[in-house]
Amino acid sequence: MKKSLLFVLLCAEVFAISSLSLASTAYPTVPGTADIGVSVADGDEALIPTRREVYDGGRILDISHRYTTDMPAFESDDGIGQFLWLPKSMKNGSLANNSEMKLPTHTGTHVDAPGHVFDHYFDAGFDVDTLDLEVLNGLALLVDVPRDKNITAEVMKFLNIPKGVRRVLFRTLNTDRRLMFRKEFDSSYVGFMRDGAKWLVENTDIKLVGIDYLSVAAYDDLLPSHLEFLEGREIILVEALKLDNIQPGLYNVHCLPLRLLGAEGSPIRCILIK
């Protein structure tokens, strides 16, 4: 098993090198922050908040996308639009600022629960509150997928992910194309074709499937791939991860959804720790 894991890492390395130059424009610019906050002078000092993608000298990597009005929404050209309001503000005489938010649960970096595509699971209550935190937290492999294909059974075989690997973050052409930083939804994103999803379910121990655009399923196999993954109620899908500028390899992943009773999706904060 060790030997084949090494092989995966080596393969991943090769693809990483080819994608490195494309991804290197991602930082230090922090997309989506231009319209948030203005630097305010407080006495002599300017108050400028820090926004980061990595913490502790690179040990902790934030792989969640920042929620912004211009982030893409599924099948929309307009982005997610306004999602925050400030019904109580200090400027308006309130003691504190209290904002409200409204957004679809499958927005930005998010998780899918079995009720997403199975109505009887939804009715039975298989919501995001029932997802296994052990699956969502632990050793994870970040792999680079060949850039010229969707994730088919053939691609899954080629990736040769060893038995025993339970969490895999699939980095694809979506990251190189910076699709999550574009307001317009793009249906040509890379995702799992049905046979790729089925192959993963039948031939691997993977229980957490992470991907770098709004859906793990390719647009052409949207429902079939979701059905393959979620039918067994063991696999957790984490979508729209931000995987730019990270070396492929093993990390500890930590993903925590909100405990939304009755919801088949939830925004999720995911980080990697080296």
Ligand X SMILES: *[C@@H]1O[C@H](CO)[C@@H](O)[C@H](O)[C@H]1NC(C)=O
Length of the chain: 274
**Nearest to ligand X of 56, 220 (CB atom):** 220
Residue 152 binding ligand X, by CB under 6 A? no
Is 90 a residue that touches ligand X (CB under 6 A)?
yes
Q: Where are the beta strands (DSSP E) in 28-136?
A: 40-42, 45-47, 54-55, 60-62, 84-88, 98-101, 110-112
Please list the alpha-helical segments (H only) found in 178-273: 194-203, 222-230
The smaller minimum CB distance to ligand X, of residues 6 and 223, is found at: 223
Q: Quick one: 76 or 187, whose CB is closer to ligand X?
A: 187
Nearest approach in angstroms of CB 77 to ligand X is 17
Q: How many residues bind ligand X, per CB under 6 A?
A: 16
**Residue 162 carries which side chain, given as an amino acid letter?**
P
| 179 lies in the binding site for ligand X (CB under 6 A) | no
How many angstroms separate the Cα of 259 from the Cα of each of 30, 41, 209, 238?
29, 38, 20, 15
Q: 270 with 110: CB under 8 angstroms?
A: no
- C-alpha 67/C-alpha 40 separation (Å) is 22
Name the residue whose CB lies closest to ligand X. Answer: 91
Strand, coil or helix: what is 212?
coil
DSSP assignment, residue 192? Answer: B
Which residue, 20 or 36, has its beta carbon nearer to ligand X? 36
Applying CB under 6 A, among 89, 98, 203, 247 the residue interacting with ligand X is 89
Binding ligand X (rule: CB under 6 A), the pick from 48, 86, 124, 273 is: 86
Applying CB under 6 A, among 61, 143, 173, 241 the residue interacting with ligand X is 173
Owner of token pair 């850039």:
147
Residue 29 found at the interface with ligand X (CB under 6 A): no
The region of 21-29, 91-99, 100-108, 264-272 touching ligand X under the rule CB under 6 A is 91-99
Does 91 bind ligand X (CB under 6 A)? Our answer is yes
- H runs (alpha helix) in 143-221: 153-159, 173-176, 194-203
Instruction: State yes or no: residue 213 binds ligand X (CB under 6 A).
Output: no
Q: How far is the CB of 127 from ligand X (least distance, A)?
A: 28
Residue 150 is a binding residue for ligand X (CB under 6 A): yes
C-alpha distance from residue 117 to each of 123, 191, 227, 233, 268 (Å): 11, 17, 7, 11, 19
Q: Does 39 engage in binding with ligand X (CB under 6 A)?
A: no
Q: Which of 82, 160, 188, 247 binds ligand X (CB under 6 A)?
A: 188
- Contacting residues toward ligand X, per CB under 6 A: 86, 89-92, 97, 99, 148-150, 173, 188, 190, 218-220
